[in-house]
Structure 1
Amino acid sequence: MSWQPIKQGEMTLQQQIIQWITGHIERGDWVAGTKLPTQRQLAMQFGVNRSTVQQALEELKSAGILEAKVGSGIYVADNSWHSLITQTQPNWQKYIDTSLHKPNYHTIQLINEYEQRNDVIRLGTGELAPSLLPTADIEASLKELTLQPKALGYSSPQGNDRLRAAICEYVKKRGIYVKPQNICIVSGALQALQLIAVGLLEQGAIVFQDQTSYLNSVHPFQSVGMQMMAIHRGDQLAQTLAQQKRKRQAVYYAVPTLNNPTGEVWTTHEKRQLYEACKASRIPIIEDDVYHELLFEAATPPLKSMDDSGQVLYIGSVSKTLSPGLRIGWLIGPTTVIERLADIKMQTDYGSSAISQEIVLHWLQSGKYEKHIEDLRQKLQRRAHYVENILKEKFNHLANWNKPKGGFYIWLKFHEPIVDKELFTKLLHRQVLINPGYIYDPQDAHHIRLSYAYGTYEELQSGLEKLYECVEEAVQK
């Protein structure tokens, strides 16, 4: 123990002594409970005044690294290691609390966590069951692909040229006529929303939406300072939008076909009404159309097919139909907008997976995709019918619902306001996971988003029985 502080060093004598003592603790030389030499001994060893040693020790005691025992001396504290970590690490919690992106609702965090467990029945999941994914066909198609060396590199800013051309052909069936330069390949619809939020809108801009909205369960706009505003789509829609917008920047987020979570399908009149109302106030429309291929009956034309002025930004994806793991979607809009968002995408992820794009291209060009969609719709329709029969048998006196028109969901409305965190938690303890209505509308205590697309038939039966039991208990309180 011959060390002494450097009297002409950059650090003060006190700082050097603190560093020397904490170094002994960090290395394990002085474990919890170790008694330190007296202040007089340390002062003599260091060649400094006793007051300098006393100040160093007091600072270490106030930090919880050392502790004094009356009449005994100074010791290394039991929690010294934790205190040292706290002293030396950045205050990560402060970084987290003051960061730009806001945390999700606790319920959604639990949903994201429990969806990974195999022992949980997922009654609300917005994802296809593994048995509905064309796993074997995708694996086989990998053997059919002829990859050029470029396909193993980074994608171009707007995405694979051939895939964008194939999408142009594909969306013609929806009445959408665009060129490849109007398309940006994105890693799913959510990334498209994030790109729009950071690439096109200013802080404080208004995002109009339905009262019950998927956007309330994620925060692509809220976290960058946008104001979410629920709008009733009635005869006074044009006036309402004009009054609320005033001179502020605004967009309208719409899911006209198989709305998530309600399953609603707008009529052509409702689409035209919204388009004209937004056009009158020069409000761009974001049309999220990722579910339209899963309609059980023929689809009506999208908003984008009515667009003659580049007002509608159109989002499509294969995540709900082919595979969420491929992470491939597309955003269609005016060239200037697409180039701007492609530039931001390159700054964030340097392009979507080139191999995934090749797979989607192969499925679109070979006809595999449309054949798969036709088969998938039939399977989903059978599942919807199966779940409806259970609902009619058990839930008629407790809830009401509309017959599903396609997609994944039944928007189940209970007669009593029983859908709260307590019901969610009680079901979770019984290994049943639901998507409660309050994550889509904070004021909603009546609905759950019931999915028939994920669980096996046995899981759907068992999960609905447990749901019935918990609902009966809640109603009888």
Structure 2
Amino acid sequence: MGMGTIVMNNTWSLLATNPPPNWNEYVKTGVHKPSKLIVQEINEIESNKDFIQLSKGELSSDIFPLETMKLVIHNVSKELDTFGYEEPKGLFPLRQTISDYVKSFGIHTSPSSILIVSGALQALQLISVGLLHRESTVLLEKPSYLYSLHVFQSADIHLSGISMDECGIVPSDLSRRSKYNKTKNILYSIPCFHNPTGVLMLESRRKELMNVCEKEQLPIIEDDIYRELWIDELPPLPLKAMDQNGHVLYVGSLSKTLSPGLRIGWVIGPEPVIERLSDIKMQTDYGSSSLSQIVAAEWLSSGLYQKHVASVRLQLKERRKIMIQALDLYCKDIATWNAPSGGLFIWLKIQPKISMKKLFSKALSKGILLNPGRIYEEESDQHIRLSYGYVPVQDLTQGIYQISQIVRELIEP
């Protein structure tokens, strides 16, 4: 026992004389910038199921087709003969299926012009390091989901906001800003049910936008991940469907419509661009999950996906109705909003000048998680992004009522 004590003491002595590296310094100097503190806080709380998650931009587990997913996985497992790496651009049958699928909204492309990615966010990461140089500028709607991330900023790429209205990006502002610096600028846009505002870009505005970009030789990243979540009527054709000269990189995904856990998205673009991005993806992760790709191919090719999204639209229509009724009942005198024609979000503007930090913290204390507008752009501080897609239906009205009560408390002197 005595010797054991000596060994232990020696061990502690060694630890004291050979301290570990100062990992805090490494963390602080890493190339990729950390998320904003409030975004980190939101991300952490989003895993707490006790909260009413009015912030979460995904579909509720109530909408997830669990039994159908089990059946699909069971069926494809019978056909599996290997779990090896796929081709650099992704599983060919999936790319072929996506090529057929996007024809339904006017995009005609070949499998060789499609890259499978692990969600739309990876597509943006690949573009940031594969196509743009440091000091490039990404033009984008103001506000925008991209401001809540540091995908481009971590590559020393600037973000520059373009004005938008109820019809989408304002073309005259885009034209003026794109002329300012033409050195490898690129436009990022969410034309369908924009995040966070919910705005659907009109067909006439899309044509104006394409005209400006073609004239200025400004390439476009079209993020179309919410397209299938239309509620009132089919949205206009994508920018990519109007693209005759290879201006548009089209990004799609199954994360918002089927399952974020599959981590399956795609980029459609000119073949040299897809070759470049696929090479970087191979260096990064050697390809997206083979099983996820096989499952995604089965969903899309069997017709099950189309049946599923039709069901999702009906459920989102009911959820949107409940949230708007609650807003009409409790918030008419303290806030303004527009009813979106699809997607997941309502962009709520609080009319009285109150502390949004206090609103956020008081809501947390009552078990409600919100996304303050300032994470999407500093000038949107009096806004909240509300999501009607994730919260259990029975909690939608209660959540809105609680928010209205907190706002009224903060108005009082």
TM-score range, shorter chain: over 0.9
Written as runs of structure 1 = structure 2, the 5 A alignment for 1:403-414 is: 403-414=339-350
Question: Alignment length, in residue pairs?
Answer: 402
Q: Does 1:91 align with 2:91?
A: no
Match for 2:9: what amino acid? G
Mean alpha-carbon deviation: is it higher for 421-430 or for 389-398? 421-430
Distance 2:126 2:171 in 1: 32
Question: Which of 449, 453, 469 is equivalent to 2:405?
Answer: 469
Distance 1:469 1:116 in 2: 25
Q: Does 1:346 align with 2:278?
A: no
Indicate how the Cα distance of structure 1 residues 140 and 443 shifts in structure 2: closer, same or farther if over 3 A, else same.
same
Structure 1 runs not aligned, ≥5 long: 1-23, 32-64, 66-79
Mean alpha-carbon deviation: is it higher for 152-161 or for 230-239? 230-239
Deviations 1:110-150 (A, max 9, x none): 11100111211100100111011111110011222243323
Aligned residue in 1 for 2:330: 394
Aligned residue in 1 for 2:166: none
Indicate how the Cα distance of structure 1 residues 436 and 149 shifts in structure 2: closer, same or farther if over 3 A, else same.
same
Structure 2 runs not aligned, ≥5 long: 164-168
Aligned residue in 2 for 1:276: 211
Structure 1 residue 235: Cα displacement: 5.1
Question: Which of 144, 147, 150 is equivalent to 1:213?
Answer: 144
Distance 1:174 1:92 in 2: 50
* SS in structure 2 of the partner of residue 330 of structure 1: strand
Distance 1:278 1:25 in 2: 74
Question: Which of 146, 154, 158 is equivalent to 1:227?
Answer: 158
Aligned residue in 2 for 1:251: 186
Kept in 2: contact 1:241–1:278 (CA 8 A): no
Q: Runs of 4 or more off by more than 6 Å in structure 1?
A: none
Distance 2:344 2:101 in 1: 23
* SS in structure 1 of the partner of residue 305 of structure 2: helix
Structure 1 residue 237: Cα displacement: 3.7
Distance 1:257 1:391 in 2: 23
Kept in 2: contact 1:418–1:445 (CA 8 A): no
Question: Which of 277, 280, 294 is equivalent to 2:229?
Answer: 294
Distance 1:234 1:380 in 2: 29
Q: Does 1:156 align with 2:87?
A: yes
Question: Which of 99, 110, 113 is equivalent to 1:179?
Answer: 110
Deviations 1:251-280 (A, max 9, x none): 000001100010000111111111111122
User: Over aligned residues, Cα RMSD in angstroms?
Assistant: 1.8
Kept in 1: contact 2:178–2:185 (CA 8 A): no
Distance 2:336 2:174 in 1: 32
Indicate how the Cα distance of structure 1 residues 476 and 205 shifts in structure 2: closer, same or farther if over 3 A, else same.
same
Deviations 1:305-332 (A, max 9, x none): 0111111000000000110000000000
Distance 1:218 1:171 in 2: 28
Aligned residue in 2 for 1:330: 266
Aligned residue in 1 for 2:311: 375
Match for 1:158: what amino acid? K
Structure 1 residue 231: Cα displacement: 1.5
TM-score, normalised on structure 1?
A: 0.81
Q: Does 1:203 align with 2:139?
A: no
Structure 1 residue 462: Cα displacement: 2.4
Kept in 1: contact 2:193–2:340 (CA 8 A): no
Distance 1:339 1:464 in 2: 47
Distance 1:266 1:221 in 2: 24
Kept in 1: contact 2:179–2:216 (CA 8 A): no
Aligned residue in 2 for 1:28: 9
Indicate how the Cα distance of structure 1 residues 25 and 286 shifts in structure 2: closer, same or farther if over 3 A, else same.
farther
Kept in 2: contact 1:257–1:266 (CA 8 A): yes
TM-score, normalised on structure 2?
A: 0.93
* SS in structure 2 of the partner of residue 149 of structure 1: coil
Distance 2:11 2:65 in 1: 61
Distance 2:364 2:57 in 1: 17
Written as runs of structure 1 = structure 2, the 5 A alignment for 1:189-200 is: 189-200=120-131
Distance 1:360 1:283 in 2: 32
Structure 1 residue 243: Cα displacement: 2.7
Structure 1 residue 28: Cα displacement: 2.1
- Report the identity percentage: 42
* SS in structure 2 of the partner of residue 320 of structure 1: coil
Structure 1 residue 210: Cα displacement: 1.0
Distance 1:400 1:28 in 2: 67
